[in-house]
Structure formats: C-alpha cells, structure tokens
Structure 1
Amino acid sequence: MHKQIILNLPVRDLDKSKAFFSALGYSFNPQLSGEHAAMMTITEGSIQAMLTTEAFFTSLIDKPLVRAKEGNEVVICLSCDSREEVDTLIARAVAAGGRTPHPPEDHGFMYDQGFEDLDGHLWNLVWTAPPEQAL
C-alpha cells in the first residue's frame, strides 16, 4: 500500500543541517526545498527526510516541539550493504560534527552503530548478514 517513507525533522539551522547530511553523501531535491525546508533523499524513490526549520515545523503541529538533544522519541534506523558502509557513514557523521552515543555492536550476523546529528536526532546504521551467511 505505502510506497514511500518521508520523515519530517525539525532543525535549528537548515544550512548547517544540509551541509552535515551532504557530508554523509545524501542529496537534496531543489524542487522540494526552499527557505524553510529541504527534501533530503536517503534512498531514491522510497525514503526521504524533510528537514524543516523549527519555526516552520511548529506551525504544522499543535503541541510543543520536543528538543531531540533533551529527550528522544524515535531512533531512525537505516540498513547498510556492509560493515564498511556502517563505519564509513559513522566516520563521515563524526567528521561533520555529529557524535556517536555508543560504540559499534558486532553480533556476528548483525553489525550496527549510531550517530546523533547536529540537532540531536538519533540515527542507527545496521548491516545484517544475508540469510545464507547468518547461519
């Protein structure tokens, strides 16, 4: 039924957030971006994030904005094709100003690590072995 996931995330500084996620290799759709928001492509055609200024985001909701640096409601988890991709994206996130809240976890069949972006949103990157390797 549903063919896309579009996350809406409030950010304090749209330009800094765009630079942060660009450093991780994500791109932005200029047709769906402007002064108050930017559409970030995570996976072509299926997963996107609309980064919105806090002022614009609060105009869309009827309750207080939760500051992700003060508390968490959600962890955004993205799959990766390899352990190396997890490590590479984590290194890029840290180099761009993010932080890692915990060390990598290696369970043999699954490898993951997370990062916190500039606004405190938590992202987890995970690789899982193909079924034939997981046995």
Structure 2
Amino acid sequence: MRMIFVNLPVGDVVRATAFYEALGFERNADFSNDSASAMRWSDAISVMLLDHQFYATFTDKPIADTHKVSAALLCLTFDSRDEVDAIHAAARGAGGRETRAIHDQQFMYGGAFEDPDGHTWETVFMDMGATPPA
C-alpha cells in the first residue's frame, strides 16, 4: 500500500493536535512526542504536526508563515455533503477559519478552511452521477 505523510510546521503541537482531533484525525502515540504528533486521517494518509524546531531539522529553507503566504493547498474528499458541512463546523469550532465558504456546483460541493497555523485545507464531495458531460 502506498501512503502519504504530510508534514506541517506548527507553533504549538498540543494546540494543533487538539484541532486535528476535533476534525476526526486520530493521534498515533507510537509516532508522537513533545515535538510531533502523528495524526491519522485514513489508512493511507497521515499528517505529521512538527514544532518549528523539529521541522527545521528536515529542511534548510525558512519556514513559511502560512498566515501570510500560501505554501500548499491540501484537499480532503468526503462521501457526502453532510460530511463537508460537519468538518467545516468542526474546524470553526476548534479555532480554524473558513477561507472559502462552501459552494454547491451540483456535482462538486466544498470549500476551504485553515488551521490555527494557517495551513489551508480544501474540502470536496463529488457526485459523479451529476457530473456534466465533457
């Protein structure tokens, strides 16, 4: 099985962990410590929340202030419109900020929010039965 680990620099690992847990991510204690939290989204996708000092050991580049610049747009897919609505509500309730309101385009339904560190997460439900012809 192929997997992806998205590594994100965070200012406060405890705060970031709480935010992602509120969204439904599960913390993997085997790969977490005071400097990092391994947050599992699915069998194939995990997000590593790394404090700035630890993150800096993996790169010589400066860490982006994602409140001011866009470094990446990450996208999560969902099985229903209700799931999109639920994660947006959870993100807002846990200290995130909706950066693009949910928009219904019939076959696509989604928006975007950012976590407390400014990392942008897009959300989408795609109704393949409602896809317009090419």
Question: Normalising by the residue count of structure 2, what TM-score does the alignment of the two structures yield?
Answer: 0.94
Following superposition of structure 1 onto structure 2, how do residues 1-135 of structure 1 map, counting pairs within 5 Å? 3-43=2-42, 45-130=43-128, 132-135=129-132
Task: Report the RMSD for the aligned CA atoms in angstroms.
Answer: 1.1
Q: CA deviation at 1:101?
A: 1.0
How many equivalent pairs are there? Answer: 132
Which region of structure 1 is more displaced relative to structure 2, 86-95 or 54-63? 54-63
SS at match of 2:48: strand
User: Matched residues, percent identical?
Assistant: 36
Please list every run of 5 or more consecutive structure 1 residues that lacks an aligned counterpart in the other structure.
Answer: none
The 2-side partners of 1:34 and 1:91 are apart by 28
> Could you say which structure has the higher strand fraction?
2
The 2-side partners of 1:133 and 1:63 are apart by 44
Q: CA deviation at 1:93?
A: 0.3
The 1-side partners of 2:10 and 2:27 are apart by 15
Letter in 2 for 1:109: F
SS at match of 1:62: coil
Tell whether the 8 Å contact from 2:29 to 2:37 is kept in structure 1 after alignment: yes
The 2-side partners of 1:16 and 1:98 are apart by 11
SS at match of 1:87: helix
SS at match of 1:68: coil
Please list every run of 5 or more consecutive structure 2 residues that lacks an aligned counterpart in the other structure.
Answer: none
Letter in 1 for 2:79: D
